[in-house]
């Protein structure tokens, strides 16, 4: 099997999302079914909601054997070697940021392919990148990290908007514009983690 | 931009639903992402579930620029002027009741347009009018207001059923039947709030 | 109305699922709207998610009058005679196991009909049989039974895999392979209840 660079990046993101689902399942003392379900839902939930909203069925993950195998293996490895895996914070954060970037751009591209207005395409990118984690938290009965902590969706919105602007106002090819935008999303996300940036919380 | 009376009523409802999502986000001390997400999910969630169930994709909100702008502005105004907005209980309740009525009829009409059985059309109307609020509560980790308090879905069912009956048994035009049914839903809802009517709770 | 044996079995499962939703609603002291909504969501949720994922819309339950009537009646009877119904543990467990078996096979058949890979068909069978209960628990704010207790999805996976293997490697007709697989799911489920088998819980 020959893996392109883009596929490798997507795989890194998928694995990080699956491990985050597996971690939540382990923290909740779920069983094997809970482990696998939550890993899959976290990794593919965003893309699934995107596909449902635009009517792209059967949804993408159902025919993505490589991604499904990676999620399965990542979930099981995370459970077997959890005390080791949970120390890889920095690696997993980086993979997770890459996933956020890749999935954002994939979502935007799918939105543009069906002719949706550009702000909706950005929303679709954000949904693709973040709603898997939202589903994970809601199923676990936790307050959504997405709504309460850290620069996460904000990084996706910034990079996604940049992607559309560079595509519209510059002569950059799609590949270059995508690479820049993904790099921006990863950078914002990792800087925000490093410097502990957060959006202000609302007060009643 | 010229706004018809029907569009104006729908907009009132959409704004009320968005403010209810924004209020929940503020009460939970979510951040800006949580504010916008919950406002949108509350306002468009019911219609989105309806569209998904009948296969009307891309779902309606994605191309409804007016509604999306209204939700965005309503959410931000609700957050900026929350101490003022939360005093507008009566106005917001009225707008919310109008939204319940409008969305119920929209859902029923969409169900009839795809040839579904009439009781299912009523169910689709109720889903359109109420499941945005259900999603809001589930995401926030609150017990669903829809299932525990007040005459809300019941008003939608009553008005929706009336709409189908008047359409079937009388010579009333669609517009008149719709107007009567929406008025009935708004009236039941507002009377129930005023007199504090509730459905009895179940006991094990 | 003439009811085939297959329809009768499906009806048993649907009723058991509806009663489980009604029971959750009663335990949460929901009102009549909560009772009906949760009964329907539990009984048809899994099949609805399956249909959405493969794009089979309008989703199946919307035109299944027999099933909808059964859910409605089961929910109301469960509420009216709850102190009696909740004693029927063994009967309801058996009906529930039959539902798990029937819905698993239905899901697999629908997956194969749209040409999905076989492991995904099994996943679709499990989703059909179990995600209604998952929705019930998430809406009620309870930790998902599906992820924490008992051999439930595991029985569905075992029987579903057996179904595909017998179909592939033996000359058994579809009907025979289905019957064997459903019997195996029911048997695993009921034995696991009787002997209190559980999957091991994960520990961090």
pLDDT tens-digit readout, B92-111: 999 999 999 999 999 999 99
The confidence score (pLDDT) of residue A1 equals 60
Mark yes or no for CB contact A30/C119 under 8 Å: no
Q: What number is the ipTM of this complex?
A: 0.94
Is A30 within 8 Å of C55 when comparing Cβ atoms?
no
Residues of chain A with pLDDT under 70: 1, 204
- Closest residue of A to C49, CA-based? A52
pLDDT at position A35 is 97
Judging contacts by C-beta atoms under 8 Å, the chain B residues touching residue A147 are 25, 28, 30-31, 33-34, 37-38
Structure tokens at C177: 């392979």
Segment B11-17 shows an average pLDDT of 93
Say whether B55 and A55 touch across the interface (CB within 8 A).
Answer: yes
**Cα(A116)–Cα(C137) distance, integer angstroms:** 35
Please list, in sequence order, all residues whose beta carbon lies within 8 angstroms of the beta carbon of residue A195, skipping any fewer than 6 positions away. none
The chains found to touch A (3+ Cβ pairs under 8 angstroms) are B, C
pLDDT at A86: 84
pLDDT in tens, B44-86: 999 999 999 999 999 999 999 999 999 999 999 999 999 999 8
Rg of chain A (C-alpha set) = 16
Q: Looking at the predicted structure, is the pLDDT value of residue B168 above 80?
A: no
Q: Please name every residue paired with C201 in a beta bridge, in sequence order, or none if there are none.
A: A31
Q: What is the DSSP string of A95-157?
A: HHHHHHHHHHHHHHHHHHHTT--HHHHHHHHHHHHHHHHHHHHHHHTPPPHHHHSSSSHHHHH
For residue A32, give the DSSP letter: H
Q: Quote the minimal CA–CA distance from C194 to chain B in Å.
A: 25
Q: Are B78 and B23 in contact (CB under 8 A)?
A: yes
B177 pLDDT more than 70? yes
Mean pLDDT of chain C: 93
Of C55, C143, C198, the CB nearest to A58: C55
For residue C51, is it left (φ>0), alpha (ψ between -120 and 50) or beta?
alpha
From A31, which residue of chain C is nearest by alpha-carbon distance? C201
CA distance B30 to chain A (A): 5
Contact between chains at B198 and C79 (C-beta distance less than 8 A): no
Chain A residues touching C134 at Cβ < 8 A: 139
What is the spatial distance between Cα A154 and Cα A141, in angstroms, rounded to a whole number?
23
pLDDT bin (cut points 50, 70, 90) of residue C174 is: confident
Residues of B in contact with A201 (CB under 8 A): 29-31
CA of C28 vs chain B CAs: smallest distance (Å): 8
Question: Is it the case that residue B193 has pLDDT exceeding 70?
Answer: yes
Q: Choose, out of C23, C34, C82, the residue to mutate when testing the contact with B (most B CBs < 10 Å).
A: C34
C-beta atoms of A38 and C200 within 8 A = no
Please state, in angstroms and rounded to a whole number, the distance separating the CA atoms of residues B125 and B101: 9
HSE-up of A178 (CA within 13 Å, CB side)? 16
- Greater model confidence, C174 or B131: B131
Q: Which of C19, C22, C24, C31 to mutate to test the interface with B (most CBs of B within 10 A)?
A: C31
Nearest-Cα distance to chain C for B119, in Å, is 9
Chain A residues whose C-beta sits inside 8 Å of any chain B C-beta: 52-55, 114, 116-117, 119-120, 134, 138, 141-144, 146-149, 152-154, 198-204
CA distance C155 to chain A (A): 11
> Is the CB of C34 less than 8 angstroms away from the CB of B120?
no
Residue scoring higher pLDDT (B3 or B74): B74
Would you place residue B22 in the very low, low, confident or very high pLDDT band (cuts 50, 70, 90)?
Answer: very high
Q: Chain C partners of B153 at a C-beta cutoff of 8 Å? A: 33, 37
Mean pLDDT on C62-86? 95
Confidence label for B174 from pLDDT (cuts 50, 70 and 90)? confident
Closest chain C residue to the Cα of A49, Cα to Cα? C53
Q: Test A58 with C114 for CB contact under 8 angstroms.
A: yes
- SS3 category, C141: coil
B65-69, B143-147, C38-42, C169-173, range with the lowest pLDDT:
C169-173
Q: Are A96 and A17 in contact (CB under 8 A)?
A: yes
- How many residue pairs from chains A and C have C-beta atoms closer than 8 A? 83
Query: pLDDT band for position C172 (50/70/90)?
Result: confident
Question: To the nearest whole angstrom, how far is the Cα of B37 from the nearest Cα of chain A?
Answer: 8
On the question of pLDDT at B196 being above 70, the answer is yes
Distance from CA of C46 to the nearest CA of A (A): 14
Look up residue B176 and give its two tokens. 């008149």
Residue where the block lists tokens 């035109």: C63
- Residue A201's Cβ-side half-sphere holds a number of Cα atoms within 13 Å equal to 12
| Cis before B80 (ω within 30) | no
pLDDT digits (tens, 9 = 90+) for C127-153: 999 999 999 999 999 999 999 877 899
pLDDT in tens, A67-84: 999 999 999 999 999 999
Distance, CA of A58 to CA of C54 (rounded, Å): 4
User: What is the pLDDT, as a whole number, of residue A61?
Assistant: 96
Q: Residue C199 is nearest to which of A31, A38, A63, comparing CB atoms?
A: A31
Whether cis (ω within 30° of 0) applies to the bond prior to C58 is yes
Locate the chain B residue with the closest alpha carbon to A122: B62
Answer whether B202 sits within 8 Å of C65, measured CB to CB: no
């Amino acid at each position: 099997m020959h893996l392109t660079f883009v596929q490798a990046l997507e795989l890194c993101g998928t694995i990080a999302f699956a491990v985050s689902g597996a971690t939540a399942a382990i923290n909740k003392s779920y069983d094997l079914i809970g482990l696998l379900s939550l890993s899959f839902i976290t990794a593919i939930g965003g893309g699934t909601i995107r596909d449902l909203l635009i009517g792209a069925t059967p949804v993408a993950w159902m025919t993505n054997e490589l991604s499904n195998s990676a999620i399965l293996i990542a979930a099981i490895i995370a459970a077997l070697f959890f005390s080791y895996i949970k120390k890889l914070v920095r690696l997993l954060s980086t993979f997770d940021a890459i996933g956020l970037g890749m999935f954002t751009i994939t979502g935007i591209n799918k939105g543009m392919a069906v002719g949706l207005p550009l702000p909706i395409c950005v929303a679709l990118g954000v949904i693709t990148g973040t709603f898997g984690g939202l589903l994970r938290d809601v199923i676990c009965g936790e307050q959504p990290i997405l709504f309460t902590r850290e620069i996460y969706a904000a990084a996706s919105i910034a990079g996604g908007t940049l992607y559309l602007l560079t595509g519209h106002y510059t002569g950059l090819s799609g590949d270059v514009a995508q690479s820049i935008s993904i790099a921006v999303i990863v950078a914002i996300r990792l800087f925000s983690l490093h410097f502990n940036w957060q959006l202000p919380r609302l007060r009643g």
